[in-house]
Structure 1
Amino acid sequence: MVMRSVPAEGPGVAHPGQPRPQQQGRPQRPGRTRQQRALSGEGVGWVAAHGGAGASTLAKVLGGTDLGCRWPDASQGEPAKVMLVARTHADGMRAASRALGALREGRHPRGMELVALVLVADAPGRLPISLARRVRVLRSVAPVRRVPWIPAWRMGKQAKDLPKEVFRLGALAGTRPAEAGEPR
């Protein structure tokens, strides 16, 4: 399932959920039009809703483009399809909500498609009830995929065996995990 919303005119936002920056550079001469490039139909981009969300790790393990905390840039030929990544702690879910709000308001590049909101566990075990409720709210707005706690990633190491959720996420993204191991 791909979430599409009404795109904003002009360039994308520098950071999901933040106001659009003003354009800089020389004004266009009358009669000249700026050449518009479209986002790439190839690959997937990983957008972090906040620092430390896990987008870089997922891009490294599953492939795709690590976009950091910004929407894809057509001038760089970046992917139209994005996975928005957030941790499951309260601040992470608030950041995800802000980014989804920006999508709903059309503050994103033309042609961008949200494939899923990826929630990466911030700790082992179950979520507290208040955070589990927040996941349900987010799920009502966008497709949500969960990545469980992976202790090896905390230490910056490759996981010996990746959980099945990571393989499913790779299938959704159209990629395969780079790390060895069968799904648990």
Structure 2
Amino acid sequence: MPRPERGLPVARARPGEEHAWWWLGVHGGAGVTTLRRAVPGGRDAGRAWPVSAQSQPVVLVARSSAYGIKAAQNAAQQWASGMVTGIDLLGLVVVADAPGRRPKILQNLVRLVSGAVPRLWEIPWVEPWRLGEPPTSHLPKECAPLARDLTRLTRPA
């Protein structure tokens, strides 16, 4: 796997910061804060890979814009090339950046990037979220499989 030109920074996860998984926004405005409220259990990684002595479960988060998807591709390449270690990459959440159908060129890019990550979850546009409504009061049906999968994937053996 080729190394990306620029990678996300690495930050040491402090002892005692145990939680089910980390949400890693691959760019500003990816939707981590909203997802953290909509699907409890994870913690915001602050746009840096959370490394520690133990493997850390991480979910990449990106908007469905060209910029967001390319940032996700870059992060996936960084992980796959071995630039970051001690990361259990659970998958990628793509959060819609606009209402309606995604343009074909962006849909193709999402499909390409999804081949580099273990799982893909897609969250549609939620107008009430844009207007400041609490995420838990307007959960799209796509949040249920995301929550179920993350709970299953991070459950202790």
TM-score (norm 2): 0.79
**Cα distance change, pair 42–19 in 1 and its aligned pair in 2 (3 A):** closer
Structure exhibiting the larger radius of gyration computed from Cα positions: 1
Q: Please, which of 145, 157, 164 is the counterpart of residue 141 of structure 2?
A: 164
Judging by fraction of residues, say which structure has more helix: 2
| Corresponding residue of 2:155 | none
Amino acid in the other structure paired with 2:78: A
**Cα distance change, pair 161–56 in 1 and its aligned pair in 2 (3 A):** closer
Displacement of 1:73: 3.5
| Corresponding residue of 1:30 | none
Tell me which moved more, 53-62 or 38-47: 38-47
Displacement of 1:125: 0.7
**Cα distance change, pair 173–71 in 1 and its aligned pair in 2 (3 A):** same
Amino acid in the other structure paired with 2:149: L
1:102 aligns with 2:78: yes
Displacement of 1:89: 0.3
Q: Please, which of 15, 18, 23 is the counterpart of residue 46 of structure 1?
A: 23
Displacement of 1:174: 1.2
Is the 1:40–1:80 contact (alpha carbons within 8 Å) kept by the matching residues of 2? no
Displacement of 1:104: 1.1
Q: Where do residues 1-184 of structure 1 align in structure 2 (5 Å cutoff)?
A: 17-18=7-8, 42-63=19-40, 64-74=42-52, 80-110=56-86, 112-142=87-117, 143-159=119-135, 160-174=137-151
Judging by fraction of residues, say which structure has more strand: 2
Is the 1:20–1:107 contact (alpha carbons within 8 Å) kept by the matching residues of 2? no
Q: How many residues align?
A: 143
Measured on the aligned residues, the alpha-carbon RMSD in Å equals 2.9
Deviating 4+ runs (over 6 angstroms): 37-41
What 5-or-longer segments of structure 1 have no aligned partner?
6-15, 22-36, 176-184
Displacement of 1:150: 0.9
**Cα distance change, pair 68–103 in 1 and its aligned pair in 2 (3 A):** same
Question: Aligned equivalents of 1:89 and 1:126: distance in 2?
Answer: 12
Question: Aligned equivalents of 1:117 and 1:96: distance in 2?
Answer: 8
Tell me which moved more, 54-63 or 87-96: 54-63
Q: 3-state DSSP class of the match of 1:56? A: helix
Is the 2:126–2:138 contact (alpha carbons within 8 Å) kept by the matching residues of 1? no
Question: Aligned equivalents of 1:174 and 1:62: distance in 2?
Answer: 10
Amino acid in the other structure paired with 2:58: V
What 5-or-longer segments of structure 2 have no aligned partner?
153-157
